[in-house]
Structure 1
Amino acid sequence: MQRDSDQRETHTPDIQPASTTVTATALGSWPGTDPAEATRIIRGELGDPHLPFLVELPARGPGADALGRTAALLVDLAVDVQPHGWRLVPRPGKDHRRAVSLLGQDINALADVAGVEERPGKALKVSLRGPLSLAAGLYLHSGERALSDAGARRELLQSLAAGAADFVARVREAVPGADIIVQLDEPDIADVLGGTIPTASGYRTLRSVPASEVSSAWQQMIEALSGAGAAQTVLRLPEAARSGALRAGAQSPFALALGAGADGAALPAEGLTGRDWEGIAEAVEGGRSIWLGVLPVPGGDNGNTANTEPRQVKALVQDVLRPWSKIGLPATALPALRLTPAGELAEASPSSARRVLSRLTQTAEALTQVAAEG
């Protein structure tokens, strides 16, 4: 599909999204320390047709963070916390057991809250750190990153694929009948591919991981998750300015994710260029979902940031429609979008986080109306 990035295409492609509604979700983390309370709020704000998620509460400390939480899923591998971060160790200790326990508390809270709902909802999202960013964040016993060792990367991938499959099965039991959608977070993938991950000493950088290995790792994860009953897997990627153009022909994380079989990609809207939107258009025309981070996240309870009002619906709608129409995508294809915050909500105040979800669902409903009007 060839487009002039500066002019709207006269031909409107015939796109039939799987849904007729634009929906909203958040990226996983949430402020606070009470999983039951957080789950009730999230499921209340993100009722059908939107996408609630299994809560992550990093304020509870090590083991509740994204990296430790994912490491707790590893099969036949254990971790502990060192001053420099999470480290692979021969056997589970208190840090590993704490991470496992915290995740279990979150799943139990989900089951309790969903179990008393009259209409529990049709879908639920869970988030995991992807295999490449996990390898970049975990350290070997030698003190170097697991990413530095090809054998360690393979072992981590196999362990994570098995653990993630078990995780999906557990969550399916907690919310019977709900479609489980998996968000694989790869915040470090641009540096992994670019060879800019620092060594443990910080004086050098690790060799880049080949794009073919990245694609293969993601494909194995997607297949394992699908085999465990996941309805979809979406790759969450860093901003386009860091990860390269999104056009399908480039070996960018976006292109690699779609080539590996991901059902979609999540990325921040800020900084997307005309060429990036061409890649998004190709993905939409190919039936993929785009999770667009449209709403900046306000700060936490310091100064006046707790009362910061999110960007207004009308402005957010225009932020989406302007590049959407410019690249030649029809309004009827808008349901290919799922709206998210531009970042994590853990550092926001609880009231601000709730307002963000409310504003996202309002914006999604406004865009759904635009799509219905054609």
Structure 2
Amino acid sequence: MPGGEVMQEADNARAYTEAVRMVLGELDRGAHLPEMPGRGAIADMIGRGLAVVSGLAADLQPAGWRLTGGGVGVDQRRARSLLSQDLDTVEELAQDYDGIFKVQVAGPWTLAASVEKPRGDKILADHGARRDLAQGLAEGLRDHVADVRRRMPRAARLVVQIDEPALPAVMQARIPTASGFGRHRRVDPPEASALLAEVLGAVTAAGAEAWVHSCAAEVPWGLVSGAGATGLLVDLDRVDATAIDHLATHLEGGGALGLGVVPSTDPTSELSDKAVTERVLRWLDMVGFDPEEYAGQLVVTPSCGMAGASTSWARRALGLAGATARHLS
């Protein structure tokens, strides 16, 4: 391996160790496995997802990730190796951690809209291929949950966050074809629910809680909750009147609700935990929920992923989320 690549990997390892320390320090009761997509395609949401998927081989092409007809490609092996290394780091630094611990992975519909079939075009275009992908993700998640549980036996609860930013576009025929001149046909709600339910069911069967996150607009939260998600993670700025009804029903049914109220990138002005707490309380008042009654079901989060945030803001944002959660409880 060239010297420059060795140095870069060492720098990435140090940065990841610092990220884990930051998460454990700021979120002492609700930590998570950090994602650092700046390390390249093998570390971003799609690369992480393909690292978990079982029984399907993939590799990187100029246009992005593509399934291969042969064995596991070198890039998929690198993605799996990096995920294992990251888990090694967490295992080493969180030996005494006994709170809630969360890992995250791209969902079946976001993967289907992002990964190509062996001969081109998205998996989304092929009913059989997208079913195989969902099954492979479900199987891989069973193993992944078992691995995380073995590494963190003292964690009180294990949560698997299924990221589905592409779900609304998949269901509204907004995913472009390979040519860029057309759009893939919409996926009907029964199929969208069925494949999502297969993945969520695998997480639950493995002994973890299945939560779904999307910071997109027009997410069909009723469908997501009905597919078996025990937690919903939303960007509060993108919650419309229809979504409020579904979120309220989910909360009343005993489900967890993550409110994305902390900016995911550096804000232009100072933000206090008091201001964030007041915003959450205003929203709860608007929808008619007593914060004392539902505090145990609420989670405070950044509005979306923090890949574009500075290190200082990432630390501050985690601190604000933790402080707000303590105020609410």
TM-score by length of 2: 0.91
By percentage of residues, which structure has more helix?
Answer: 2
Aligned residue pairs, count: 315
C-alpha separation in 2, matches of 1:134 and 1:198: 14
**74 and 277 in structure 1: CA distance in 2 versus 1, 3 angstrom threshold:** closer
C-alpha separation in 1, matches of 2:241 and 2:52: 39
Higher relative contact order (CA 8 A, sep 6+): 1
Q: Mind listing any 5+ residue stretches in structure 1 that lack a counterpart?
A: 1-31, 244-252, 300-304, 369-374
Specify the alignment match of 2:322 in structure 1.
Answer: 361
SS at match of 2:158: strand
- 2:116 is the counterpart of 1:135: no
**313 and 80 in structure 1: CA distance in 2 versus 1, 3 angstrom threshold:** same
- 2:35 is the counterpart of 1:56: yes
The match for 2:282 among 303, 319, 322 is 322
Stretch deviating more after TM superposition (87-96 or 191-200) = 87-96
The match for 1:281 among 242, 248, 259 is 248
C-alpha separation in 2, matches of 1:207 and 1:298: 34
**169 and 75 in structure 1: CA distance in 2 versus 1, 3 angstrom threshold:** same
C-alpha separation in 1, matches of 2:321 and 2:102: 16
Specify the alignment match of 1:345 in structure 2.
Answer: 306
Amino-acid identity (%): 38
Counterpart of 1:242 in structure 2: which amino acid? E
**Which aligned pairs between 1:231-250 and structure 2 lie closer than 5 A?**
232-239=209-216, 241-243=217-219
Q: Does the aligned pair in 1 maintain the 2:215–2:304 contact within 8 Å?
A: no
Specify the alignment match of 2:84 in structure 1.
Answer: 104
**273 and 155 in structure 1: CA distance in 2 versus 1, 3 angstrom threshold:** closer
The CA deviation at 1:323 is: 2.4
Specify the alignment match of 2:272 in structure 1.
Answer: 312
The CA deviation at 1:168 is: 0.7
Q: Does the aligned pair in 2 maintain the 1:188–1:238 contact within 8 Å?
A: no
The CA deviation at 1:202 is: 0.6
Specify the alignment match of 1:84 in structure 2.
Answer: 63
1:130-161 residue CA offsets vs partner (Å, 9 max, x unmatched):
01111111001211000100010111111111
- 2:200 is the counterpart of 1:222: yes
C-alpha separation in 2, matches of 1:315 and 1:267: 19
Q: Mind listing any 5+ residue stretches in structure 2 that lack a counterpart?
A: 1-11
C-alpha separation in 1, matches of 2:133 and 2:44: 18
Counterpart of 2:272 in structure 1: which amino acid? Q
TM-score by length of 1: 0.80
- 2:239 is the counterpart of 1:259: no
Which runs of structure 1 show a deviation greater than 4 angstroms over 4 or more consecutive aligned residues?
none
1:3-38 residue CA offsets vs partner (Å, 9 max, x unmatched):
xxxxxxxxxxxxxxxxxxxxxxxxxxxxx6532221
**92 and 275 in structure 1: CA distance in 2 versus 1, 3 angstrom threshold:** closer
Stretch deviating more after TM superposition (131-140 or 213-222) = 213-222
Q: Does the aligned pair in 2 maintain the 1:281–1:327 contact within 8 Å?
A: yes
Specify the alignment match of 1:23 in structure 2.
Answer: none
Specify the alignment match of 1:246 in structure 2.
Answer: none
Q: Does the aligned pair in 1 maintain the 2:31–2:99 contact within 8 Å?
A: no
Q: Does the aligned pair in 1 maintain the 2:215–2:238 contact within 8 Å?
A: no
C-alpha separation in 2, matches of 1:114 and 1:132: 32
SS at match of 1:184: strand
**225 and 275 in structure 1: CA distance in 2 versus 1, 3 angstrom threshold:** closer
Specify the alignment match of 1:212 in structure 2.
Answer: 190
Alpha carbon RMSD of aligned pairs, Å? 1.7
C-alpha separation in 1, matches of 2:133 and 2:265: 35
C-alpha separation in 2, matches of 1:309 and 1:342: 17
C-alpha separation in 1, matches of 2:137 and 2:296: 32
SS at match of 2:218: helix
Counterpart of 1:46 in structure 2: which amino acid? L
